[in-house]
Structure 1
């Protein structure tokens, strides 16, 4: 792979946000079903801020995916279902029924976990789907972090939504249907966000059945093969597929998408859900094979500690790792399409 090194300068401004254009529709997506989505610019900043992103050999990009549990509370699970979820056994958090108070505690824990990760790009799932709450809660987390983040979100809908926090200014964002979506749970669309460095697809696949999840994974792979190669493509989210299960095993065997956790040397024993006693790793960062992603390093789980009330940030642990991005070959083609 050529080690071409160059700079792309991205400029973010509150007074003059960058223009937005929709990227091409992936194969298999019906025309007219994609929607341009709103993007929140960083708040409480009036001065023009410029950050130069180096695209070239060894550009590190710290990536996080985190299912933030919508409006979930430990109390609801414990008292309605006798299920321990998102809190320590016997802790005061199990008795707190007010979701807004629970969110304040969870937001503080989520912000601390994301700040410790020092991520350049954060993919969120189960962001509340109400228009105000969805944008507000993603923006609330972004405003609590060091530096400035653009926020894109999937907008209101019948299920909890998706969001991206990005240090690099967001150039374009849209949503397209999850190929093969069915079953129950999850989110019916993929949130696509492009920056100067990468394109990221955020997905939350349905809980089941397995044949539906298999169709979703194969649909995402087909869309990834058809998508442009102008920048690396990441697929992040809660795929509701255990890392050690047959669905992810077949995905790895097909070789279209690469499991960044495994390539980074992450422990096969690392589990992300359900908290506090996780039994599966459902949360994944994948990258497209053949893209200029040289390595994945520094894998870590986020949100593994509770506060003094026994509250955890979510019923999932987050996943963080660093990708090294190289410059693509001039006029490079998509090797998977040949």
Structure 2
């Protein structure tokens, strides 16, 4: 019988297994075993190998120390149904979570009661939708200048702004524990969205990154770039098939050797994403106002695709937004927040791009020091951009003609 360490590494590195579908049973003195996702277990961390009692995959016990069971090679449980797009070793598999009225936040493929959660779709199940709307927004955490940025008030404004943006996939940066808690108890999030990480895990706290999707989620993964920097990704089911949506937040000029760090981060992202098959969206705060990120990654900038390469509408504007003025080193307005696209010619095109959160409250408060960027994507198999008929769910709320690309 193999050891728990051998089983862990077999699942983690053998491409025939899907680590996101495995659960470990951990011995607790005087209490029933604690079940944790395999992706949350840290070899050499706080939990020693001898406390791992069993491995489950798809609800089936495939290894059990106490009764000598080792049948991981004799069952289809935990086997990859389709080749993963977020593959090791660049990506570490994560388990997406969805809300269940009876059980709370559970792994998204867990059977759940009526009205609860968003299950992972079976392979090949089509999703009917006219297109995909994505939103990226740096929410401005409270780590710096907390006495000058009115976080308590801003935090309560964000959920309503996100709901109004009506995005299929939302990428947030600088998410702190208090904001995560607010979002996880927000009714519209619970009703329709899957989150990219275990709400009780460390991923969001360590990177500040959070993805939410109301499209069915097939995979989740993360790649750590360095302290407090990462790339987090989902594979979602769109009308055109599986779509990879990844989010990041690159080092700023506040960091020591910020430009060099960004260059290194972009290089690692480019190398890792080169191995990801299919259409890809990368969005987030790149902390670079020039064309460098898109060029380094070999991707198209959705804002430039809609508004033209000469449009430099800023997403970080110290001259307009007092919150940006607090943290700015140069006072320069820049388009730091991007939605970048990689797709076969014509398969994925930006049909609209607008700023979100660029209007303050009546007393002058902005939700963040950054404005969000919302992009509407449309394509069909022939490469012809689809016409979009506005509905209650697709109309651009508060759209300004100069920013809608229409």
TM bracket, shorter-chain basis? 0.5 to 0.7
Say whether 1:109 aligns with 2:157: yes
Task: Please report the RMSD computed on the Cα atoms of aligned residues, expressed in angstroms.
Answer: 3.6
**Structure 1: which 5+ runs fail to align?**
1-15, 79-85, 87-92, 94-101, 330-338
Who is 1:23 aligned against?
Answer: 84
- TM value normalised by structure 1: 0.66
1:307-322 pair list within 5 angstroms: 307-322=361-376
- Say which one has the larger Rg: 2
Alpha carbons of 1:146 and 1:160: their partners in 2 closer, same or farther (altered >3 Å)? closer
Distance 2:211 2:271 in 1: 23
Say whether 1:261 aligns with 2:303: yes
The Cα offsets for residues 212-247 of structure 1, whole Å up to 9 and x where unpaired, read as: 212322332232222122xx21101011111xx252
The Cα offsets for residues 125-158 of structure 1, whole Å up to 9 and x where unpaired, read as: 1111x5xx475244245x3469611111384267
The Cα offsets for residues 29-78 of structure 1, whole Å up to 9 and x where unpaired, read as: 7x4x75433433135484258896227xxx311110011112358652x4
Who is 2:215 aligned against?
Answer: 168
The Cα offsets for residues 244-293 of structure 1, whole Å up to 9 and x where unpaired, read as: x2524xx33x6721111111226723211256156111111111142664
The answer to whether the 8 A contact 1:153-1:161 is kept is no
The answer to whether the 8 A contact 2:234-2:245 is kept is yes
Distance 1:255 1:188 in 2: 17
Distance 1:69 1:160 in 2: 13
The secondary structure found in structure 1 opposite 2:360 is coil
Larger mean CA deviation between 35-44 and 212-221 belongs to 35-44
- TM value normalised by structure 2: 0.56
Distance 1:255 1:38 in 2: 27
Question: Comparing both chains, which one has the higher relative contact order based on Cα–Cα distances under 8 Å and sequence gaps of 6 or more?
Answer: 1
Match for 1:272 among 315, 331, 338? 315
The secondary structure found in structure 1 opposite 2:311 is coil
1:1-338 pair list within 5 angstroms: 23=84, 31=89, 34-44=91-101, 46-48=113-115, 53-54=127-128, 59-71=130-142, 75-76=146-147, 78=148, 86=149, 93=150, 102-103=151-152, 105-128=153-176, 130=177, 133=178, 135-140=180-185, 143-144=187-188, 148-153=192-197, 155-156=201-202, 159-178=206-225, 187-197=228-238, 198-208=243-253, 209-229=258-278, 232-242=279-289, 245=290, 247-248=292-293, 251-252=294-295, 256-265=298-307, 268-274=311-317, 276=321, 279-290=333-344, 293-327=347-381
The answer to whether the 8 A contact 1:20-1:172 is kept is no
Distance 2:216 2:86 in 1: 22
**Structure 2: which 5+ runs fail to align?**
1-57, 60-77, 103-112, 325-332, 384-406
